[in-house]
Structure 1
């Protein structure tokens, strides 16, 4: 859905070609979420079907020019005012991986956590360097400011992920200690031997 509204937002500035929309979308987000041109035109086709954009005049023979409609502007304005729904969060691969690793024989979950922490810290360092360079260069236009906002969101997300991984590891350590302190249940009693039975003596009948 974010691509749909992202393209609408760019078209609100004026008619655009599909290739222009792709370039401007990636400029605003610093190519954090790169688009392929097929994805752009598929989204444009759906927007046109829904009456939110229309083909515009003035294009060349090779590319179609698109412009936003009044219905598209109304939907875009509603999107800006509507909070992003967090009641149904997207599936997170890391959360699913750790949930599946818990109690799985042969999986060292602490090693999984440590590997992910190293990766997340490296990503955090990369994002921080990019932010420092962007600030040193000085934001010159709205695209630079938009990229800074995206970078800072990535930094906050990486920081939160490393804190969560630390929490997961601490919880596993506490849980392992608690399980180790529990008294072990006594072994089940050995099955008792059945007493031998002997047939009753025969009585002589006189």
Structure 2
């Protein structure tokens, strides 16, 4: 039995897409960046903490279970861009991304309680140059309000992407190939 430690509808859709049965639950953690923490360490730490929180929250369910936690961040110039606080924050983020290449880092952790394994997938995404009116119109759609980096590649924000090198599904929130491989490895180890 797999527990998805996330309420993200995108992650749920992606897991369903590869035919993985699961139960979702919320895994609330402190997502503050630690002093001198690299983006890679940050996103992996959050995925691990979400998986651990999911493990603790699902303690009353089946004994033989795996818990998956994941996190996705947008990074430009080693700066992690979270979800925007307001329009000014979103505008600042989108201005940074405008006409530039950035990275999307997605970490996935699967735990059996006794052991865990984490993978990190890096994808390069390039944006077209954005005008102030495009940024404001995009904000008005409501889409950027709860998205890392203030955009959703699978939504309206996809029209700003000129090039992607890496995993599209990782940018959406869960790298399908790598997650499937990780679940296979952990399931085999969990059965022993």
Report TM bin, short chain: under 0.3
Tell me the TM-score normalized by structure 2: 0.23
Structure number with higher helix proportion: 1
Greater C-alpha radius of gyration: 1
Tell me the TM-score normalized by structure 1: 0.22
